[in-house]
């Protein structure tokens, strides 16, 4: 996370000191780096320079309008999985012709809205969805080019809750049935299948499963073309991992080399859906120590962030590096500590037995690698307010989502008419 580093003993986001941000916006808050987003997108795009490649940022990783807008201005499209995300992408300036709509549960209203916007592709994931899309296209007299997502039954070797390419996962159509389903799509008035899509999981640090899946897609494209289908593109999804702890994710160059070896002879447009790999290490979560509590057998550091702000540790047992905002000397004493939030759940724990220096009330710490699946998965559990999101660029910052006040939170509800 080179955009977050110590300067004169103080953690900075680019050229903005984190303590100054904490004073300005209060804690906890998310902080994103424009330079980090730009560098990671550019690195990804450069790896496919000279190829017909469409890079659609996976909005589910971080759906803040300013984050999407930063990437859109660099040329990114968007991969969305709901009408809400589609509306966000459009509002942030992503052209419709650079938007792909994925997901297993698109409603008829969502499909109709996407067709009305003229987006690039809807990736169909089941036969019932295909029939619904065909009926909507016919009723609105639209011609639509679609993708069909296949499930190659490949073990991505990632966390079970973010694996998407095994036969027991809910995503895509069985690749063994793909020829039949593409034929069904081709027979629908106004529908032309043009893309084979695949995505086998998230936080992937081994290229081997991807190579197997992409090679299967290449074989399917050849078979589809032999059946008379004009397949002009393949959507290879996203899922590239990042370093949270001791992972060793593949380089962009190694990834691109593997992709071209597996699919480069097809003459297809390459569509990618990177999310975490662009946003994850472009953001941090900053929180303040409330108390240090010494229990019978544990040292607890209680902070003002909670699992409703960053649920990944509770949901996935995810690791986030913990950075004191004031740099700790290398020879400072460290002792095991559990970093916990104030929510009434034992699961509201960010780290267990982590070796940390002494932390006092009002000290600031940062959770690293929090730019993806952080704020976007937040809730108001315990009637806690959603926390601010801040985007920095060089020595400037902007609050790109403010903290609501309690009146706004309560205004979403009302007493029943008879109360």
* CA torsion, ordered 247, 251, 256, 262, to nearest 10 deg: -40
The answer to whether the CB of 163 falls within 8 A of the CB of 213 is no
For residue 273, give both structure tokens: 């859906």
Provide the annotated active-site residues.
344
Show the CA angle centred on residue 171, arms to residues 169 and 173, nearest 5°: 110
For residue 289, give both structure tokens: 């120590």
CB atoms within 10 A of CB 148: 28
- E strands of 47-190, at which residues? 53-58, 77-80, 99-101, 121-124, 144-151, 173-174
Rounded CA-CA distance 120/387 in Å is: 34
Residues contacting residue 261 through CB under 8 Å, at least 6 positions apart = 211
Query: Diameter of the chain by CA atoms?
Result: 72
Rounded CA-CA distance 179/162 in Å is: 27
Rounded CA-CA distance 320/36 in Å is: 18
């Amino acid at each position: 996370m080179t955009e977050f580093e110590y300067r004169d003993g103080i953690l900075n986001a680019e050229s903005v000191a984190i303590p100054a941000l904490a004073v300005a916006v209060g804690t906890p808050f998310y902080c994103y780096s424009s330079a980090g987003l730009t560098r990671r997108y550019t690195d990804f795009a450069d790896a496919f320079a000279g190829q017909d490649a469409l890079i659609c940022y996976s909005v589910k990783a971080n759906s803040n309008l300013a984050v999407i807008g930063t990437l859109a201005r660099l040329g990114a499209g968007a991969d969305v999985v709901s009408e809400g995300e589609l509306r966000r992408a459009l509002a942030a300036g992503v052209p419709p012709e650079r938007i792909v709509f994925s997901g297993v549960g698109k409603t008829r209203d969502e499909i109709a809205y996407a067709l009305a916007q003229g987006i690039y592709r809807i990736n169909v994931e089941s036969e019932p969805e295909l029939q619904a899309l065909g009926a909507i296209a016919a009723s609105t007299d639209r011609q639509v080019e679609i993708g069909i997502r296949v499930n190659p039954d490949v073990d991505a070797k990632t966390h079970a809750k973010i694996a998407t390419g095994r036969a027991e996962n809910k995503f895509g159509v069985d690749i063994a049935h793909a020829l039949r389903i593409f034929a069904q799509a081709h027979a629908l008035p106004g529908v032309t299948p043009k893309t084979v899509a695949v995505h086998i999981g998230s936080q992937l640090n081994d290229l081997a499963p991807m190579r197997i899946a992409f090679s299967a897609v290449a074989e399917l494209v050849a078979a589809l073309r032999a059946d008379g289908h004009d397949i002009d593109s393949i959507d290879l999804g996203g899922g590239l991992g990042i370093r949270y702890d001791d992972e060793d994710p593949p380089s962009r160059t190694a990834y691109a080399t593997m992709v071209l070896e597996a699919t480069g002879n097809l003459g297809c447009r390459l569509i990618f859906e990177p999310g975490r790999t662009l946003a994850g290490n472009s953001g941090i979560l900053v929180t303040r120590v409330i108390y240090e509590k010494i229990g019978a057998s544990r040292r607890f550091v209680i902070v003002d962030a909670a699992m409703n702000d960053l649920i990944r540790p509770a949901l996935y047992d995810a690791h986030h590096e913990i950075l004191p905002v004031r740099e700790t000397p290398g020879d400072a004493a460290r002792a095991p500590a559990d970093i916990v939030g104030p929510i009434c759940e034992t699961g509201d724990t960010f780290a267990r037995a982590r070796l940390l220096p002494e932390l006092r009330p009002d000290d600031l710490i940062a959770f690293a690698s929090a730019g993806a699946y952080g704020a976007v998965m937040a809730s108001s559990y315990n009637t806690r307010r959603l926390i601010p999101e801040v985007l920095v660029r060089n020595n400037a910052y902007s609050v790109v989502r403010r903290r609501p006040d309690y009146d706004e939170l309560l205004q979403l509800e009302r007493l029943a008419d008879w109360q």
